[in-house]
């Protein structure tokens, strides 16, 4: 099993953690109503997916 040989200092730990960043959610325009929606998902405004109605809105 991989076990660290020495304790990592606070500054090394914190500088490593500082590189973890969140990414903005990618959105695409809906082809029907042009509102922003998640890719590969039904539009929450008009309820269409791939040109057909899938949700009752």
**Can you give the pLDDT of all 57 residues of the chain as single tens digits?**
889 999 999 999 999 888 888 899 999 999 999 999 999 999 999 999 999 999 998
Whether the CA torsion 36, 41, 42, 48 is positive or negative: it is positive
Q: What is the pLDDT of residue 5?
A: 94
In which region does residue 34 sit, left (phi positive, over 0), alpha (psi from -120 to 50) or beta (all else)?
left
pTM: 0.59
User: 57: which 2 tokens?
Assistant: 């809105």
Q: What is the pLDDT of residue 26?
A: 95
């Amino acid at each position: 099993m991989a076990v660290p040989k020495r304790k990592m200092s606070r500054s090394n730990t914190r500088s490593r953690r500082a590189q973890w960043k969140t990414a903005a959610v990618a959105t695409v325009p809906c082809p029907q109503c042009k509102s922003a929606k998640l890719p590969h998902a039904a539009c929450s405004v008009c309820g269409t997916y791939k040109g057909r109605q899938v949700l009752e809105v």
